[in-house]
Amino acid sequence: MSRKYFGTDGVRGKVGKAPITPEFVMHLGYSAGKVLASRDWHLARGERPSVLIGKDTRVSGYLLESALQAGLSAAGVDVFLAGPIPTPAVAYLTRALRLQAGIVISASHNPYEDNGIKFFSDSGSKLPDEVEQEIEAGLEEPMKTMASSELGRAKRINDAAGRYIEFCKSTFPFDLDLRGLRIVIDCAHGATYHVAKPVFHELGADVVAIGVSPDGLNINRDCGATEPEALRRAVLEQKADLGIGFDGDGDRVVMVDSIGALYDGDQLLYVLARHRMSKGNLKGGVVGTLMTNLAVEHALGKMNIPFQRAKVGDRYVLEMLRQNGWHIGGEGSGHIICLDRHSTGDGIVSSLQVLEAMRQNDASLSELTKDLALYPQVLVNVRVSGKFNFEKNEGVAAARQAAERDLDGKGRVLLRASGTEPLIRVMVEGEKSEKVVYWAEKIAEAVRQAAP
């Protein structure tokens, strides 16, 4: 069965337009509730399955939360409401509270006009494809509200943020602290706005927080992991030792050092792999994606660290990690997964793992990445109005083949459709910057001319 609504990260779109409408989201909650209620959870007699709902700071979160709650209740599922908390906090609390699923209302790094729904299983991982397909199949059936005596009930969790703060701190070694470090954090006016600062402050850091005044409309606007210039400026102005930027739902992280140099997910993943290998606790190898910079693969190869590429999307990184029995993987965008610390990607937890490497080696990010020289890489996003099979277009194929001949094995060309937005992403990387820029634009123009 093909996926009609679910992309690589749940169901996402512009609020008020299908599928992100109150009617659809209520039906989605109902269908998900029916699927959950039908599964064998070994619940006590008469006990209903329970689901946690968390959200980021978008104004539409209130609307969609109510719709989801209504649908789940109609299906006979109890609901725990956590309010605004990071996506990985939902994954953690779902496990900690022994619930049957977790649901996040968020469009991650997208602007406030967008929103989405994504699910976590009882183990704190993204739902398997087959369960998402079962939920989609249920959307074809009409809603039938349970009898009043069997309706689900709702309860608010007042200490959700505090529980998550303590969990994050527990992933940092007890024999280390952050005393003497001045850290700027940028919370993107998103879900980490009230939890990130306490984590780093209680571990001993002097923390300056920006992007912590959400108004429902300013999430990810000129701030956070996707717009790191504000973080870089703040680090320089505050004469800080480090800057840490999160995205709107808190599962991505980027860092800035004391001189304003930016470190993306590829570089941070390399730091973690290098450190764990030096300590003898790197389990297996590292999983990246098709977008991971070629220099990372080469640098890990020099250390005899196995490296594999998954499809783009943290769910596919996670799947490959589990298949291999490995622990760490991630994307250049800042999604980093440390399976020995958490069941999903977590911006705060990942940044603490990098800080652990810095403290234990008494080294800066610059020193920890001195053996990694990233290849020039250009990503061009081409907006399309509908589905476009670029693989069968002769003009796009010709441009791609010409680029690959010119790169002559010393670079890569990658085209892919975004799983969350109506975009074709064109990526070119290689040894020479001028050549990379030229071919990225050339291929992107071929896509523009051919796309609907």
At 366, the amino acid letter reads S
CB 184 within 8 A of CB 255: no
First to last CA, the chain: 26
- Second-level CATH architecture of 263-368: 3-Layer(aba) Sandwich (3.40)
Confidence of residue 44 (pLDDT cuts 50, 70, 90): low
Pairing state between β 253-257 and 262-263: antiparallel
Confidence of residue 281 (pLDDT cuts 50, 70, 90): very high
Q: Which CATH superfamily is domain 11-161 in?
A: Alpha-D-Glucose-1,6-Bisphosphate, subunit A, domain 3 (3.40.120.10)
Q: Per-residue DSSP letters for 163-217?
A: HHHHHHHHTS-TT---TT-EEEEE-TTSTTTTTHHHHHHHTT-EEEEES----SS
Q: What is the spatial order of strands in the sheet that 114-121 belongs to?
A: 11-14, 114-121, 101-105, 50-55, 78-84, 154-156
pLDDT of residue 421: 76
> What whole-number distance in Å separates Cα of residue 105 and Cα of residue 116?
6
List, by residue range, all CATH 3.40.120.10 domains of the chain.
11-161, 169-260, 263-368
> What whole-number distance in Å separates Cα of residue 288 and Cα of residue 293?
9
Confidence of residue 41 (pLDDT cuts 50, 70, 90): low
- Second-level CATH architecture of 377-450: 2-Layer Sandwich (3.30)
pLDDT above 50 for 199? yes
- Look up residue 252 and give its two tokens: 């991505």
96: nearest Cα among 68, 114, 123: 123
> What whole-number distance in Å separates Cα of residue 130 and Cα of residue 321?
19
- Look up residue 89 and give its two tokens: 């906090």
Residue from 60, 108, 125, 343 carrying the catalytic annotation? 108
At 47, the amino acid letter reads E
pLDDT above 70 for 149? yes
Q: 13-27, 35-49, 90-104, 433-447: which range is least confident on average? A: 35-49
Dihedral, CA atoms, 68, 72, 78, 83, nearest 10 degrees?
-10
What are 328-347's pLDDT values in tens digits? Answer: 999 999 999 999 999 999 99
CB 215 within 8 A of CB 58: no
> What whole-number distance in Å separates Cα of residue 194 and Cα of residue 174?
23
Mark whether 108 is an active-site residue. Answer: yes
Q: 38-52, 243-257, 267-281: which range is least confident on average? A: 38-52
CB 339 within 8 A of CB 328: yes
pLDDT of residue 293: 94
List, by residue range, all CATH 3.30.310.50 domains of the chain.
377-450
Q: What is the spatial order of strands in the sheet that 286-289 belongs to?
A: 307-310, 286-289, 328-330, 336-338
> What whole-number distance in Å separates Cα of residue 210 and Cα of residue 220?
12
Q: 33-37, 186-190, 263-267, 371-375: which range is least confident on average? A: 33-37
CB 75 within 8 A of CB 49: no
pLDDT above 70 for 137? yes
Report phi then psi at 53, rounded to 5. -120, 125
Q: Report, as an integer, the average pLDDT of 233-241.
A: 98
Q: 324-338, 354-368, 371-385: which range is least confident on average? A: 371-385
388: nearest Cα among 348, 343, 447, 334: 447
Q: Which CATH number is associated with domain 169-260?
A: 3.40.120.10
Where on the phi/psi map is residue 152: left (φ > 0), alpha (ψ -120 to 50), or beta?
A: beta
> What whole-number distance in Å separates Cα of residue 364 and Cα of residue 354?
10
The overall average pLDDT reported for the chain is: 94
Pairing state between β 242-246 and 423-430: unpaired
